[in-house]
Structure 1
Amino acid sequence: MTLPVAPADLYRHGLKLLLEKNIAAWVDLWDENGVLEFPFAPEGWPERLEGRQAVADYMRHYPDHVDLHDFPHVKIHQTTAPETIVIEMRGVGRLVKSDSPFDMTYIAVVTIEDGRIVSYRDYWNPLAVQQPGADFVGTN
């Protein structure tokens, strides 16, 4: 499979893979040394994952926690650095363990080089994990 090279195209492709629950293919979008950061991570949660394997280990059980149904709002902003995009998005679905609704907004800053994700800073709302019934990746 030929991967999309434009950052916005690659990112949209990644969202499609997440909706398909194809975590292995999503992880394959990452550079071997890619870094995933969570600047607002609550205590006890990872703040930084270094390397594709660390991202794979973190995301492996994501579909067991969150059943994503849609990304009804995705707005991608191009920056002055062509390889870096800023994304505003909303993901909706359900939390598997509690069967509660999942509705999360995100801001992400993503850098893509040579068709691979090299940096992903995920600014998600850590207060959401404090809601009753919350069962997210990172709590295990």
Structure 2
Amino acid sequence: MSSNPTTPTPTAPADLFRHSLRLLLEKDIPAWVGLWAEDGVAEFPFAPEGWPRRLDGREAVAAYMRNYPDHIDLHDFPDLTIHRTTDPEVIVVEMRGVGRLVRTDSPFDMTYVVVVTVRDGRITAYRDYWNPLALQDPAADFTRSAR
């Protein structure tokens, strides 16, 4: 299932983020990457040694996410809270992603805090404070391939 090309992409940060989550659940990684600005930056401040801490540009984000559905099968984002900030282009998101690790068929359950900046309807900054210690299964280690 992929996103409907006739449906306009939302441009408000909270709406764009919700749309991005739908694309992840649909496993439409190319459309998800298409929400990014050409020079968008993804940061992972808590990334362990050997994992990417910063991705510069849409191409780097695309390479990082390319094989995501082969490793993590997301089923839902059951807990989602989007906080607006004093900057209309910035939101802070608290969320939980659940699904399964493809290789082992074991449960995946991760809590995230993400700071997202959207300018001109595109993601320009995505700072993801996920907890790598919660992911004990090396089978889910798709991110090392993006180094």
Which TM bucket (shorter chain)? Answer: over 0.9
Report matched runs for 1:17-56 at 5 Å.
Answer: 17-56=23-62
Structure 2 counterpart SS, 1:63: helix
Structure 2 counterpart SS, 1:16: helix
Structure 2 counterpart SS, 1:56: helix
The answer on whether the counterparts of 1:61 and 1:137 sit within 8 Å (CA) in structure 2 is yes
The answer on whether the counterparts of 1:128 and 1:134 sit within 8 Å (CA) in structure 2 is no
Residue of structure 2 in register with 1:97 after alignment? 103
Displacement of 1:128: 2.0
**Unmatched 5+ residue regions in structure 2?**
none
Structure 1 counterpart SS, 2:46: coil
Number of aligned residues: 139
Residue of structure 2 in register with 1:65 after alignment? 71
The answer on whether the counterparts of 1:98 and 1:133 sit within 8 Å (CA) in structure 2 is no
The code of the aligned residue for 1:13 comes to H
Residue of structure 2 in register with 1:81 after alignment? 87
The code of the aligned residue for 2:16 comes to L
Displacement of 1:133: 5.4
Displacement of 1:42: 0.3
The answer on whether the counterparts of 1:66 and 1:136 sit within 8 Å (CA) in structure 2 is no
TM-score by length of 2: 0.91
Structure 2 counterpart SS, 1:109: strand
TM-score by length of 1: 0.96
Q: Deviations over 1:44-95 (max 9, x none)?
A: 0000000000000000000000000000000000000000000000000000
The answer on whether the counterparts of 2:80 and 2:95 sit within 8 Å (CA) in structure 1 is yes
Residue of structure 2 in register with 1:136 after alignment? 141
The answer on whether the counterparts of 1:73 and 1:90 sit within 8 Å (CA) in structure 2 is yes
The code of the aligned residue for 1:39 comes to P
Stretches of 4+ moved more than 6 A in 1?
Answer: none
2:44 & 2:128 partners in 1: Cα distance?
5
2:16 & 2:38 partners in 1: Cα distance?
16
